[in-house]
Structure 1
Amino acid sequence: MDFELSETAAAVQKGMRELCADFGTDYWSRCDAEDRWPEELWTELGRGGWLGLAVPEEFGGGGLGLLELAVAMEELAASGAGTAGAFLYLLTPGFGGVTVTRHGTDQQKRDLLPGIAAGTTQTCFALTEPDAGSNALAISTTARRDGDDLVLRGQKIWISGVQRADWMLVVCRTTPAAEASGRTSGFSVLLVDVREAEAAGTLQYTPIHKAGNRIVKSNQVHFDDVRVPADRVLGEIDAGFAVLWDILNPERVLAAAGGVGTAELALRLAVGYAREREVFGRPIGANQGLAFPLARVKAQTELARLMTHKAAWLYDQGRPSGDEANIAKLTAAGAAWDAADRAYQTYGGMAFSEEYPIARLHRDARIAKNIPVAEELVLAHIATQGLGLPRSY
């Protein structure tokens, strides 16, 4: 076994760290306070090819894998963005770049990948529904065949990045559940031209006021007979669940990478403060009541990083990675939350001041325990798939 990053992954790590050095915690806190997309950073990511790391070279990308994308995600989150950076970076390089590269037709790749690599095309992903949160099998958004088109109708919720997206990957039913050949049959993943549907008045979205992660807006989305050409199906019609899992596992790996980076950031801030802040004549970091919890967070973070890298490596090798992706997501989300919480405790009352980024990191990190999948469902997956225990649902 070799635990060293490859030369390519190490170069990605170094390059992203250098780029993000100009966009630290103060920058991200300003974007959060102003409730705005980090345009300046996004421009630099596109200019430097960071949005197309996983896009094949023939389409202008870097031709790299999920591991390199995860390493880049870690560095972005650790630079000052925290969980917000994970949301931002997942939308286009992850949902768009990875999925279209893996499952797109030649024409779909030509239509989307060059723009993704150049930073001129953005994507988002629509799965969750008001009455079908974690139970993807229960989604009710449908697409019926009408000549050469599919007509999409239904609604989605908590869809992030619609405001910026040119294309939306939408999971829907193309065969009613009662007529499908199995529980996971009858689903398809469609590529929806967001601006075209918006101009036609068939796609509307409403932003959701959120407690955190304000840099990337989340929305409720309504599809009112959106016409989608049949050649915009990703993968095969009615066989979209295979594509869906190939979206969800990389999503969990990249979310885990964001969690690792967030934990690294919160830990760095907490340790720096614990070294400098003196109470009762000595640095507060000398007190085991503060030092030991921070040491435990360090251990959690390193373990989460190892599993995240392993899951990404397995995916790149074309090997089963579902168990590892779930374990990585579980451990990294826990590390990020614990690190942010311990940073809050270390800063004491000053954590409540927006002079410091601690409160932002704290509220943003909490949501990672619920999305992209609740930790209870991750534990259910590990129990049934990893331990062979009977299902409870």
Structure 2
Amino acid sequence: MDFDLPESAIAVRDGVRAIAGKYDQEYWSRCDAEKRWPEEVWRELVAGGWHSLAIPEEHGGAGQGLLELAVALESLAEGGAGGAASFMYLLTPAFGGLTIARHGTDAQRAEFLPKIAAGELETCFAITEPDAGSNAMNISTHARRDGDGYVVTGQKIWISGMERADFLVLVTRTIPAAEARPRTAGFTVLLVDVGEAVEAGTLTYRPIPKLGTNTVASSMVFLDGVRVPAGRVLGEPDRGFAVLWDILNPERILAAAGGVGSGELVLRIACDYARDRAPFGRPIGANQGVAFPLARIKAQVELARLMTYKAAWLWDRGRPCGSEANIAKLTAADAAWQAADRAFQTYGGMAYSLEYPVARMFRDARIAKNIPVAEELVLAHIAQHELGLPRSY
């Protein structure tokens, strides 16, 4: 067993850390307050190729894997971005670059990947619906075959990044759930030209007011007769479930990497305060009531990092990683939340002040326990598949 990161991942870690180090907490708080994408950081990531790590070299990328992508996300989060880092690596590098590289046709790879690598094309992903959240089997957005393409009708919710996306990676049903045998049949994943559909008036979206992660909008999306050419099917028609899991598992692994990085960042901020704050003549960090909870969270973060790297390593080798991805997401999200909660307590009343980053990190960390999959469903998966207990849902 070798627990050393490969040289490729070390180079990624150092390169992304160098970029993150240029931007302080005032920058990230300003982006959040203004509800704007961290464009300056994104441009630096694109210029250095740090966003296209998983795109093959022949299409302008680095030809690396999910492990390097996870390390990049972790490093950006730890370097100062916190929760904002996750969407910067999920929306286009993972949902677009990683998915098309793995499941796209030769023509699709040639069309999309060089543009993604050059920073000329961005993507987002749509699966969740008002009546089909964690239960993806019940999605009802329907793609009907019509001549040389498909016509899509339906509604999606909590779709992040629509305001920036050139293409939407859209999960549809081409066989209704009630008719699908087995129930995993009948999924078709489509690449939807957002600008074309908006111009045609068949796709509209409306941002949802939300508590945190304000550097990217999350929207209701309405599809009313969106036309998609047959050449924009990702994978095979009616057999998109394999593509779907190759989106969802990396999403959970990258979300875990974001949790690990965010946990490290918040711990660092809390510990800096605990070393400096001395209301009774000595630093509050000298008190075990302050130090021990922070030390325990550090242990949780390190354990989450190990499982995150393992899950990414398995995915890169084409091996089953569903349980590892779920466990990584569960433990990293909880570690990040515990870190944010403990930082809030360490700061005392000052945590409530927006002059400090703790309130923002507290808000951003909480949602990770619910997305991209609720921790209760992760626990149900572990209970069934790892412990052999009866299915609960």
For residue 312 of structure 1, what is the amino acid of its counterpart?
A: A
Corresponding residue for residue 356 of structure 1: 356
- What CA deviation, in whole Å up to 9, does each residue of 1:114-152 have, x standing for no partner? 111111110000000001110001101000011001000
**Partner Cα distance (2:178, 2:298) in 1:** 50
Shift of 1:88: 2.3
Identify the residue that residue 103 of structure 1 maps to in structure 2: 103
Deviation (angstroms), 1:42: 1.0
Counterpart residue number, 1:268: 268
- 1:282 match: secondary structure: coil
User: Helix, strand or coil for the counterpart of 1:79?
Assistant: helix
Q: How many angstroms apart in 2 are the aligned matches of 1:26 and 1:145?
A: 50
Match of 1:290 in 2: 290
Are the aligned partners of 1:88 and 1:216 in contact in 2 as well (CA < 8 Å)? Answer: no
Partner amino acid for 1:279? P
Corresponding residue for residue 48 of structure 1: 48
Amino acid at match of 2:289: G
The answer to whether the aligner puts 1:365 opposite 2:365 as a matched pair is yes
1:1-393 to structure 2, matched below 5 A, reads 1-393=1-393
Kept after mapping to 2: 8 A contact 1:45/1:119 = no
Cα separation, 1, equivalents of 2:147 and 2:86: 40
- Please give the TM-score of this superposition, normalised by the length of structure 1: 0.99
SS in structure 2 at match of 1:280: coil
Q: TM-score, normalised by structure 2?
A: 0.99
State the distance in 2 between where 1:38 and 1:218 align: 16
Distance (Å, rounded) in 2 between the aligned partners of 1:293 and 1:184: 44
- Counterpart code for 2:78: A
Q: Give the Cα separation in 2 of the matches to 1:90 and 1:68.
A: 13
Deviation of 1:339 (Å) = 0.3
- 1:181, distance to aligned residue in structure 2 (A): 2.3
Aligned-partner SS, 2:8: helix
**Matched residue type, 1:364:** D
Output the CA distance in 1 between the equivalents of 2:338 and 2:203: 39
How far does residue 178 in structure 1 lie from its aligned partner after superposition?
A: 3.6
Residue deviations 1:248-275 (CA, integer Å, cap 9, x gap): 0000000000000000000000011100
Any idea what SS the aligned residue of 2:155 has? strand
Residue type of the alignment partner of 2:334: G
Shift of the alpha carbon at 1:176? Answer: 2.1
Which segments of structure 1 move beyond 4 Å, counting only runs of 4 or more? none
Separation of aligned partners in 1, 2:324 and 2:178: 33
d(CA) in 2 for partners of 1:179, 1:275: 62
Counterpart CA distance in 2 for 1:327 and 1:180 is: 29
Q: Distance in 2 between matches of 1:195 and 1:336?
A: 36
* Number of residue pairs the alignment of both structures matches: 393
CA distance in 2, matches of 1:382, 1:209: 33
List alignment gaps of at least 5 residues for structure 1: none
Deviation larger for 41-50 or 146-155: 41-50
Partners of 2:312 and 2:64 lie apart in 1 by 12
Instruction: Output one character per residue of 1:217-253: Cα deviation in whole Å (capped at 9) or x when no partner.
Output: 0000000100000111111100011110010000000
Give the residue type in structure 2 aligned to 1:198. Answer: V
Q: What one-letter code is carried by the residue in structure 1 that aligns with 2:224?
A: D
Distance 2:306 2:285 in 1: 27
1:178 & 1:163 partners in 2: Cα distance?
Answer: 33
**Distance in 2 separating the partners of 1:265 and 1:126:** 29
SS at structure 2 position matched to 1:171: strand
Displacement of 1:25 in angstroms is 1.6
